[in-house]
């Protein structure tokens, strides 16, 4: 029997401009596939994340199974691909609701469609009919780093002006604070050295320039998972929100990921519930079918 083609969309997340932000492939499944197929398709797309949606019936709120794969591995949590999945479902009319639930390896995550007028952002909204998507994610606590690799970290960031090093508890990333947002943009990562550092990846962050309208800048490097630099990493902001909220003394933050593609995230931290609400836009840039 011939295999049914799998519909997919490629969505640029945390941006309202095509070919900016972070691209994710969203695949809509109507029948079961095995993990080998998932990983092979993700390797074929060869972008930071490919995700797979499976409809779950019989719930009052639209619910979907959601899995995320980098070109080399499945991951437990991905912000930008979740945003891309929600954008696909909202914009194509596949759901007739303003809230979607995703069943994931990190539990049930929700995505909510909210009008742009309800969001305070560093970026101006020109179109009145545009909307943001709000993701409800678990906060990632910050811990002291026990790493003895300070010199290795400095080498990995090519001598960047490091002022603090922390570790994220859930993501097992190093969070490296540098002297300024400008320093973040100037970092020249030595990926082979980053690959030798214990943990998953390295988040580099610094206070944003006062004239930028943002609170902080960041970049994220994760060569161990086949992502040399993730253009805009939603899950990294679950720890960045925890760090900068305490540092700046506020729960509402505007963040900019200063990769070559760049992207903006509006953040609210609910410290009591230990939840991070990530708000961003997304734009669908292509669609097609997987034939095998």
Active-site residue numbers?
49
How far apart (Å, rounded) are the C-alpha atoms in residues 192 and 229? Answer: 13
Which residues does 57 contact at the CB level (< 8 Å), separation at least 6? none
How far apart (Å, rounded) are the C-alpha atoms in residues 230 and 49? Answer: 9
How far apart (Å, rounded) are the C-alpha atoms in residues 139 and 176? Answer: 18
Pairing relationship of beta strands 202-207 and 162-168 according to DSSP bridges? unpaired
Q: CA–CA distance from 208 to each of 17, 202, 256 (Å)?
A: 22, 19, 8
CB 197 within 8 A of CB 156: yes
Pairing relationship of beta strands 162-168 and 22-29 according to DSSP bridges? unpaired
What token pair was written down for 51? 């995700």
How far apart (Å, rounded) are the C-alpha atoms in residues 267 and 278? Answer: 5
Q: Using CA atoms of 54, 106, 290, 131 in order, give the dihedral in degrees to the nearest 10.
A: 80
Complete DSSP assignment for 72-92: S-EES--HHHHHHHHHHHHHT
Instruction: Return phi, psi of residue 52, to 5°.
Output: -130, 130
């Amino acid at each position: 029997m011939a295999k049914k083609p799998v519909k997919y969309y490629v969505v640029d997340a945390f941006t309202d401009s095509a070919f900016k932000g972070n691209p994710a492939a969203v695949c809509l499944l109507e029948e079961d596939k095995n993990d080998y197929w998932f990983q092979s398709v993700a390797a074929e797309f060869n972008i930071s994340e490919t995700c797979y949606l499976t409809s779950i019936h019989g719930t009052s709120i639209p619910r979907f199974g959601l899995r995320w794969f980098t070109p080399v591995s499945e991951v437990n949590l991905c912000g930008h691909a979740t945003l891309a999945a929600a954008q696909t479902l909202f914009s194509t009319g596949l759901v007739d609701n303003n809230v979607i639930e995703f069943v994931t390896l990190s539990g049930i995550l929700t995505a909510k469609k909210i009008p742009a007028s309800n969001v305070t952002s560093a970026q101006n909204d020109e179109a009145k009919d545009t909307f943001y998507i709000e993701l409800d994610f678990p906060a990632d606590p910050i811990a002291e780093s026990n790493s003895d690799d300070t010199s290795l970290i400095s080498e990995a960031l090519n001598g960047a002006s490091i002022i603090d090093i922390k570790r994220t508890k859930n993501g097992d990333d190093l969070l490296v604070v540098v002297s300024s947002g400008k320093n973040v943009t100037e970092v020249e990562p030595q990926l082979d050295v980053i690959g030798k550092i214990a943990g998953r990846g390295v988040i580099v962050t610094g206070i944003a320039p006062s004239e930028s309208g943002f609170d902080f800048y960041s970049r994220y490097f994760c060569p161990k998972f086949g992502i040399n630099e993730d253009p805009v990493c939603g899950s990294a902001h679950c720890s960045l929100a925890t760090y900068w909220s305490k540092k700046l003394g506020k729960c509402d933050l505007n963040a900019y990921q200063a990769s070559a593609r760049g992207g903006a995230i509006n953040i609210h931290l609910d410290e009591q519930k230990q939840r991070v609400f990530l708000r961003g836009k997304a734009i669908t840039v292509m669609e097609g079918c997987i034939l095998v």
